[in-house]
Amino acid sequence: MPTTLNPVLRGAGLLWIVADALTTGEVERLRADFPMLSRTVNGHPLVYLDSGATSQKPTRVLDAERAFVERYTAAVNRGAHTLAGEATELFEGARATIAAFVGADADEVVFTSNATEAINLVAYGISNASLGRGGDSASRFRLVAGDELVVTEQEHHSNLVPWQELAFRTGATLRVVGLEDNGTLRIEEAADVIGARTKLVAVTHVSNVLGSISPIEQIVELAHGVGALVLLDACQSAPHLPLNLHELGVDFAAISGHKMLGPTGIGALYGRRELLDALPPFLTGGSMITTVGLQSSDYLPPPARFEAGTQRVSQAIALAEATRYLGEIGMDRIAAHERALGQRLVEGLAPISGVRVLGHAPGTERTGIASFVVDGVHAHDVGQFLDDRGIEVRVGHHCAQPLHRRLGVTASTRASTYFYTTDAEVDAAVAAVADVRAFFGAA
- Give me the residues that bind other proteins (CB under 8 A), please: 42-44, 377-381, 384-385, 388-389, 395-397, 401, 404, 410-411, 439-441
Stated as kind and residue range, the H or E segment containing 120 is: helix 115-130
**Residue 389 C-beta: closest distance to other proteins, Å:** 7
Q: How far apart are CA 266 and CA 255, in angstroms?
A: 9
CB of 397 to other proteins, least distance (A): 5
235 is catalytic: no
* Amino acid residing at 53: A
- Least separation in angstroms between residue 208's CB and other proteins is 15
Single-letter code of the amino acid located at 347 = E
Distance CA 235, CA 58 (A): 19
What is the Cα–Cα distance from 269 to 267, expressed in whole angstroms?
7
CB burial readout 71-107, b (16+ within 10 A) else e? ebebebbeeeeeebebbbebbbebbebbbbbbbbeeb
Find out whether 370 and 346 touch, Cβ atoms under 8 Å: yes
Choose between 265 and 396: whose C-beta lies nearer to other proteins.
Answer: 396
Neighbours of 2 (CB within 10 A): 12
The residue (of 366 and 397) whose beta carbon lies closer to other proteins is 397
Residue number with CB closer to other proteins (365 or 388): 388
Residue 52 beta carbon to other proteins: minimum distance, rounded to whole angstroms: 16
Catalytic one of 149, 399, 428, 432: 399
Q: Which is nearer to other proteins, 348 or 390 (CB)?
A: 390
User: Of the two residues 344 and 414, which places its CB atom closer to other proteins in the complex?
Assistant: 414
The least CB distance from residue 43 to other proteins, in Å, is 5
Q: How far is the CB of 425 from other proteins (least distance, A)?
A: 17
* Least gap, CB of 380 to other proteins (angstroms): 4
Cβ-proximal residues to 190 (8 Å cutoff; 6+ apart), any chain: 150, 152, 177, 218, 219, 222
Residue 401 amino acid letter: Q
Query: At its nearest, how many Å lie between other proteins and the CB of residue 154?
Result: 16
Spatial neighbors of 43 by CB under 8 A, at least 6 apart, are 390
Give me the helix-helix angle, 331-349 and 423-439, nearest 10°.
Answer: 30
Burial class (CB in 10 A: 0-12, 13-18, 19+), 329: middle
Is the Cβ of residue 93 or residue 396 nearer to other proteins in the bound state?
Answer: 396
Residue nearer to other proteins on the CB measure, 216 or 379: 379
Alpha-carbon span 382 to 95, nearest angstrom: 41
How many other β-carbons are positioned within 10 Å of the β-carbon of residue 251?
22
Q: What is the helix (H) or strand (E) element at residue 150, kind and residue range?
A: strand 148-152
Whether residue 347 contacts residue 362, with contact meaning beta carbons closer than 8 Å, is answered with yes
Task: Indicate the residue among 42 and 297 with the shorter CB distance to other proteins.
Answer: 42
How far is residue 398's CA from residue 115's CA, in Å, rounded to a whole number?
Answer: 15
Active-site residue list:
399
